[in-house]
Amino acid sequence: MHQVSQPGSIVVLTGAGISKESGLDTFRDRDGLWARVRIEDVATPEGYRRDPQRVQAFYNARRRELSEGGVEPNPAHLALARLEREWPGEVLVVTQNIDDLHERAGSSRLIHMHGELLKVRCVRCARPLPWAADIEATSLCPECGRADVLRPHVVWFGEVPLEMDRILSALERCFLFVSIGTSGHVYPAAGFVAAVRDAGRARAVELNLEPSHGASLFHEVRTGPASVLVPAFVE
Ligand code: BJW
């Protein structure tokens, strides 16, 4: 009997650049979030312990922007959802973004490695819950019943990103790795291209407005806006 070869799997890593044309700010661009707020204040566990209200206010403003600011998936998110539907092998999108634009575009094999803006998490039992406008950090956790425990379900500096085992295993097996709209400054995501190169199976392609910090590790780098590059790449 003939052995039918399996279609290869694809891993797509996305960063803030893919959501820029939907109206959400990146972090490290000149007009990015880190030009307006200090990382130590809003994106570290120490900052949260010092001033939880400030951190809640930062994430609540971003939640309002995401749900009330007319923010919609752009052609890049839609093209990745189409790739998942039409590619005969597996497509896994690993996003560093905490927005919900990939799922709204229709991607279903998706890992939010830095968490999700529209969820909170109990600091005691670690259970993520949907965020609601009237939820307060002082609310009771419905799972363990404790008060004063609901923090944003996001991964801050010094915390371990989510689902790393699943991501690393997919990176080892894939035949194509595509990195979209990420500056390559934040680990472990910035190290994924090196992991793919070490495994020695996959072609690594970067799609970005400008070459990232790790651009020299990719086999191919295409520059331009994601809303143009990603649909053209998927075609
Ligand atoms: C466009 C565009 C358009 C614009 N079209 N493109 C090794 C060496 C040194 C340090 C470390 C290391 N390993 C770990 C560390 C520490 C630290 C780290 O990386 N520090 C560096 C800053 C040096 N990392 C951590 O602490 C991480 N945890 C960790 O490593 O745990 C240990 C561990 C790991 C694994 C297994 C076991 C243990 C946690 C990092 C958490 C990051 N959190 C944040 C906040 C999340 C919540 C929130 O959103 O508020 O995540 S920080 C922020 O940066 C956010 C992003 O996801 C992340 C990455 O940013 P991104 O997406 O790349 O955005 P930008 O702005 O940097 O770039 C945008 C890009 O888009 C640019 O290239 C533009 O050109 C482009 N662009 N418009 C296409 N239209």
* pLDDT for the residue numbered 5: 61
Burial level of 130, CB count in 10 A (0-12/13-18/19+)?
exposed
Distance 186 CA to ligand 1 centre (A): 3
Closest CA to ligand 1's atom 62: 15
Return residue ranges of the chain for CATH 3.40.50.1220.
1-24+73-114+161-235
Nearest in space to 106 (alpha carbons), one of 81, 142, 136, 80? 81
- For residue range 94-116, what is the model confidence (pLDDT) as tens digits? 999 999 999 999 999 999 999 99
pLDDT tens, position by position, 181-226: 999 999 999 999 999 999 999 999 999 999 999 999 999 999 999 9
Cα–Cα distance measured from residue 228 to residue 53, given in angstroms and rounded to the nearest whole number: 39
- The pLDDT, as a whole number, for residue 12 is 98
pLDDT at 134: 73
- Residue 97's closest CA among 89, 88, 87, 107? 107
**List of long-range contacts for 188-193, beta carbons under 8 Å, 24+ apart:** 188/161, 188/164, 189/13, 189/15, 189/94, 189/96, 189/113, 189/161, 190/214, 192/11, 192/13, 192/94, 192/167, 193/217, 193/218
Closest CA to 15 of 210, 234, 219: 210
For residue 3, what pLDDT is reported? 47
Widest distance between CA atoms in the chain: 66
Is the pTM higher than 0.90? The answer reads yes
At the second CATH level, the architecture of 1-24+73-114+161-235 is 3-Layer(aba) Sandwich (3.40)
Distance 182 CA to ligand 1 centre (A): 8
* Residues of the chain below pLDDT 50: 1-3
Residues 198-229, buried b or exposed e (16+ Cβ, 10 A)?
eeeebebbbbbbeebebeebbeebbeebbbeb
Residue with tokens 């680990």, as numbered in its chain: 187
Q: Where in the chain is the domain with CATH 3.30.1600.10?
A: 34-70+116-154
Residue 111 · residue 166 · CB < 8 Å: yes
* Ligand 1 lining (C-beta closer than 6 Å): 15-17, 20-21, 26-29, 32, 43, 96, 98, 114, 154-161, 164, 181-183, 185-188, 208-210, 212, 225-226
pLDDT (0 to 100) of residue 93 = 98
Mutate-to-test residue for ligand 1 from 41, 151, 187, highest number of ligand atoms within 8 A of CB: 187
Does domain 34-70+116-154 correspond to CATH entry 3.30.1600.10? yes
Query: What is the residue-wise DSSP string for 188-227?
Result: TGGGHHHHHHHHT--EEEEEESS--TTGGGSSEEEES-HH
Q: What is the structure's pLDDT at 132?
A: 83
pLDDT value at residue 124: 86
Assess contact for 213 and 7: CB atoms under 8 A.
Answer: no
Give the three-state DSSP class for 116: strand
Query: Which value does ipTM take for this structure?
Result: 0.96
